[in-house]
Each structure stands twice: as structure tokens, then as C-alpha cells.
Amino acid sequence: MFNLTGKVALITGGSRGLGRADALALAKAGADVVITDILLESDVDEEALKSSAVGQALRKEGIVYAEQTAEEISRSGGRAAAYRMDVTDEEEVARVVDRVIDSFGRIDILVNNAAMLDHVATIENQSEVLWERDLRINLTGAYNCTRAVWPQMKEQRWGRIINMASVAGTMGGFGQASYSTTKAGIIGLTKSLALEGARYGITSNAIVPGIIATEAWKSGNPKMNERMIARTAFRRPGEPVDIAHAVVFLASPEANYITGIELYVSGGIELFTF
């Protein structure tokens, strides 16, 4: 089960956290994997980092693994590559998609994972600049990447669009107006793509993560993290591999009749816990 041999997966925001875990899990299932991110170890756009406190911190701490992950997959006998890609740049996205098709022959699976979540402020203190940035990266970025791979998936009459939503998009988030809004939008995009893609053999589904112990989460406020963990039924955070397993399932032939869903991988944070 869950054999992805012969399939090619493109992952955005794959240099760390959930994206890295997705890449490793998809490769383990047999897929060829292309990891894209605005942050690469060998070629980081310092200008792009200036507007991102999270990006600056992760780069400083060396928490950027796109090329390393591709090399790890290759050493294990898989095929992988890491490309720099800004999901907000429609032309760059198109160039990278063409490059992937030229090098790997096709794209079967798109994991729209790239997102920013460092904009935390109550509504009267939200930054208009960061609001617009979050819309461009978190929502329009997924739109750009989907539009770029869609014609090829239609032509081959098989495709998997897997969008990363969040419980912030289904429940809201205090001080997270921009992030929550974009993740709610991702769910709407997912369902529309499911309707349009079904006749071409393309499924579109959203994963709704809860509290996941990524590098970015671990660098957050410890007291706030404890409060969020207490909201879960399990009283612990999930691990990136928990999300990755769901990605592999939705990408697999076994999920052939599943489309337009919101798959919660949340530890029950959306339940009435007390």
C-alpha cells in the first residue's frame, strides 16, 4: 500500500519542518521528490529575508535543509532535487515547474506547504504590509503553484493537490488574523479545485494540522506553547512525521476516491477538551 514509485512530487516550503518531513516520507514511499523553498543553504536571497523575522532566525541558526534533504534522499537511492522558488513570483514558479518537467518528466503530486506565521498582533495592531505579504505567500502562492502544474496534470489525467491548512483557519487564532484568514482561504481553494479537477482524475485535499513540534514552533514562547498543548486531547504536540504520513496517504492510489476534504491531524485540539 501507498506505493508512489514512478510519481514525481513537488513540495513548496520544503527546507525544514513539515515540508522536509513530507519530502522524506514521499521519497520513502517511492516518489521522486523536488524540494522548493525561498531559503536554500547555498543560495539565500538576503533581500527576501529582511521582511521575515522567522527566516532570519532560522537562517542564523542553520535550520535550512532543502539541499541537505535532497542529498539525503539521493544517498538512499531515490531521485531528488532542491530548487529555489518564490511562490509569490508567478513567472519564477512557471520556470521551476518547466524545469522539473524537463528533468523528471512529469509532476504528479503538488504539496502546497510554503507559508509564513510570524505575524502575530491583535487586529488594531496588524501590519498592513505583513497582511499583504501573508496573503501573497500563504494563499496566492498556493494558487500560483497549482495553476502552474494544472495543465500537465489535466493532460496526464492524474494528479494530487495537497494543501496545508491549519486549525487557525477552521477555529480562528487570537492575534493571527492574517494567518487564519489565509488558511481559511486555502480550504475554499481546495474545495474549488476538487470540483474542477475530478473530471480529469485530479484530487484536491487539505490537511489541517494542529500543534506540530516543528523548529519554528519550538522557538516560540514556551508558556504559550504549553497553553496550546493543554488544548489538545493528547496533551502533547504532534510531530512533523504525523503530517507527512497523511500527505503520503492522500498522494497514494489508496486515496483515489477522496477529494475536497479537510483532514484533521490535530491531536483533537478542535474538540471540547477540559
Whole-number pLDDT of residue 109:
98
Whole-number pLDDT of residue 221:
87
Domain that holds residue 127: 8-265
Residue 274 lies in a domain: no
Q: Taking residues 238-255, what's their average pLDDT?
A: 98
Total number of domains constituting the chain: 1
Residue 21 lies in a domain: yes
Residue 1 lies in a domain: no
Structure-block grid coordinates of residue 93: 514558479
Active site residue 143: no
Confidence class for position 63, pLDDT limits 50, 70, 90: confident
Residue 50 has pLDDT above 70, yes or no: no
Whole-number pLDDT of residue 42:
86
Whole-number pLDDT of residue 45:
58
Residue 176 has pLDDT above 80, yes or no: yes
Whole-number pLDDT of residue 159:
98
Residue 69 lies in a domain: yes
pLDDT tens column, 4-25: 999 999 999 999 999 999 999 9
Residue 25 lies in a domain: yes
Residue 225 lies in a domain: yes
Which of 65, 83, 179, 264 is an active site residue?
A: 179
Residue 133 has pLDDT above 80, yes or no: yes
Residue 271 lies in a domain: no
The whole-model pTM stands at: 0.93
Percent of the chain with pLDDT over 70: 93
pLDDT tens column, 138-171: 999 999 999 999 999 999 999 999 999 999 999 9
**Which range is least confidently modeled, 39-48, 133-142, 158-167, 224-233?**
39-48
Residue 206 lies in a domain: yes
Whole-number pLDDT of residue 1:
87
Task: Provide the CATH number for the domain around residue 40.
Answer: 3.40.50.720
- Mean residue pLDDT of the chain comes to 93
Residue 62 has pLDDT above 80, yes or no: no
